[in-house]
Amino acid sequence: VAIKEFKEGDEDEFSRRTIQREIKMLKMLKSDYVVGIKEAFKKKGKIYLIFEYFDRNLLNLIEKHEHGLDAPLIAALFYKIVKCLQYLHSKNIIHRDVKPENILISSDHSQLKICDFGFARFLPDADYDLTEYVATRWYRSPELLVGEPYGKPADMWAVRCM
């Protein structure tokens, strides 16, 4: 398993809501494309999220191959990443932090799952746009960079940046 730990005492209300939203979202999303949450609990002033374990992420894989990945592997991985986002978007969820570190990959490359739903949001409807400025800077869509409303296509922009 993998464990994500939060110090409850150090949190403000925003952080507390973010953690609760992430737990709710992960419990709702039962898919081969989303990392599974096994348990969430509080103990001694800390909140723990227990996830299924993956030994690497896309960034680890890229760094391991200094001359680049083979084209067929890249195609297979990115097909799975797009399927992940297609699943999330079909549930009216925008991830908002798609980056190599948040793409988990099994050692044989057969499984790929997206993780870290701390910035993710439920959208009230399919065409709803957000205005909050989030996402890791290297993967921000043009709309985010200029402060315009953005939606699901911002996740796809991040995929293209990888």
Q: What is the pLDDT of residues 81-129, one digit of tens each?
A: 999 999 999 999 999 999 999 999 999 999 999 999 988 998 887 677 6
**99: exposed, middle or buried (C-beta count within 10 Å: 0-12, 13-18, 19+)?**
buried
The residue from 70, 97, 125, 129 that is catalytic is 97
Q: Phi-psi bin for 5: left (phi > 0), alpha (psi -120 to 50), beta?
A: beta
pLDDT of residue 98: 96
Q: In this model, does residue 11 exceed pLDDT 60? A: no
- What does pTM read for this prediction? 0.88
Give the amino acid at 50.
Answer: I
Q: What is the pLDDT of residues 55-91, one digit of tens each?
A: 999 999 999 998 999 999 999 999 999 999 999 999 9
Q: What is the dihedral sign for C-alpha 42, 115, 138, 100?
A: positive
Rg (CA), the chain: 16
**Of the candidates 33, 37, 55, the residue with the CA atom closest to the CA atom of residue 113:** 33
49 falls in which pLDDT band (50, 70, 90)? very high
Domains of the chain (ranges plus CATH)?
2-51 (3.30.200.20), 56-161 (1.10.510.10)
DSSP lists the bridge partners of residue 27 as: none
97 is catalytic: yes
